[in-house]
Homo-oligomer: A and B are copies of this chain.
């Protein structure tokens, strides 16, 4: 047995202590974890300094900021755990009941998933977030942190386990895979006897590797090539406000817009207004301007680079916007269905018929009418938290909260019934 397999077996052996814990026990464990995390701040910061020193010069500055912890960020992580404790417990909910003509009583009950695996990149805060969400949903958790954040993750998990040791939840229910080489991830992907679910959280490359190699059931998350289509019947004030927010609010996240589709009848007048807002106004305000990648039609109306072969299939995660003109809502839908990632896509229109046609035919987790796609988020959707945003259709779609981390079972109570 490899070290990774041993850790998977430990999590499986410890899962019952979580799967069958009641709400109070789980909440007590979460609060103990939060306190313990704050108490271990000095150790965690020391470990984080090791990670930062090892990473210096090796990773870009934007990544360094993700990796960096300070006292405030550790308190925020602890408060995040406390917020999860305050959420309603999804486990035990009765989803359906029925009594058959023969007297059999069938109860469909929400139960814990069992053991959840999470493979993520170098964000230390994901370690405590993911552990808290998994435990609250009733599952043991096996974490695989990015190598660059491993020392930080290890110190965080040590603190979480110290907290758990004071409660009735077995500390082994939280495992951080010690093998930070590829093999650690690959063993998790194939650990069908140990994991009930595997969630990759991170960039497109990580997610692809997990989806392609996993034998364990996976929920694919994240990649968002997000489109907004400005219909010929759009209210331009709304359109400008929505595009501005969806593109510039936080370009590096998955619900940010990457592609603007604009009806050809309004392109000549609408696009220059948009250019002023996204380029000139932002430069004047000292903000990074948006750079355009334009199809030949759009290029006749505003300045920017000609769109290359891949520009309509790229998640830029940057101040870059691909722009294309279309002749109809139908053409817009055709483009989105061919080039999108089924994450979040929107239409801006005052035409009810166009809006309904769009929401019916766009096959994405979240379809917007006259609102920014930035709302695709567990917190915004009222789930109270988020383990990621599913872009597949099996099990969960869009933001995943605690309920989306659970399963169900049928309990059938009889008085000796047999089948004819």
Q: Residue A413 contacts which of B363, B371, B372, B414 (CB distance < 8 angstroms)? A: B371
CB distance from A244 to the nearest CB of B (A): 7
Q: Does A370 contact B (CB under 8 A)?
A: yes
Contact A242 B416 (CB under 8 A): yes
Q: Cβ of A237: which chain B residues have Cβ within 8 Å of it? A: 416
Q: Does A142 contact B (CB under 8 A)?
A: no
State in angstroms the CA–CA spacing of A361 and B106 once bound together.
17
Q: Residue A409 contacts which of B111, B366, B392, B415 (CB distance < 8 angstroms)? A: B366
From DSSP, what is the main secondary structure of chain A's interface residues?
Answer: mixed
Chain B residue with the shortest CB-CB distance to A15: B363
Q: Does A238 contact B (CB under 8 A)?
A: yes
Stoichiometry, copies per complex = 2
Q: Residue A397 contacts which of B366, B382, B408 (CB distance < 8 angstroms)? A: B408
Q: Cβ of A111: which chain B residues have Cβ within 8 Å of it? A: 363
Given contacts A211-B192, A394-B395, A397-B407, contact A249 B419 (CB under 8 A): yes
Q: Cβ of A197: which chain B residues have Cβ within 8 Å of it? A: 393-394
Contact A241 B418 (CB under 8 A): yes
Segment at the B interface, from A77-85, A147-155, A212-220, A316-324 = A212-220
CB distance from A400 to the nearest CB of B (A): 12
**Proximity bits, A185-221, B CB within 8 Å = 1, else 0:** 0000000100011000000000000011001011110
Contact B419 A407 (CB under 8 A): no
Contact B211 A19 (CB under 8 A): no
Q: Residue A372 contacts which of B100, B218, B419 (CB distance < 8 angstroms)? A: B419
Q: Cβ of A397: which chain B residues have Cβ within 8 Å of it? A: 407-410
Q: Cβ of A364: which chain B residues have Cβ within 8 Å of it? A: 409
State in angstroms the CA–CA spacing of A244 and B381 once bound together.
51
Q: Does A380 contact B (CB under 8 A)?
A: yes
Q: Residue A367 contacts which of B392, B394, B410 (CB distance < 8 angstroms)? A: B410
Chain B residue with the shortest CB-CB distance to A358: B411
State in angstroms the CA–CA spacing of A303 and B16 once bound together.
37
Chain B residue with the shortest CB-CB distance to A211: B215
CB distance from A274 to the nearest CB of B (A): 15
5 pairs across A/B with beta carbons < 8 Å? Answer: A106-B382, A111-B363, A114-B393, A192-B211, A371-B412
The 4 closest A-B pairs by CB, nearest first: A371-B414, A245-B418, A238-B416, A393-B407
Besides A211-B215, A371-B417, A375-B419, 13 new A-B residue pairs in contact (Cβ under 8 A), listed by A number: A106-B381, A111-B363, A114-B393, A196-B392, A197-B393, A217-B217, A249-B419, A371-B415, A372-B414, A376-B410, A397-B407, A397-B409, A398-B409
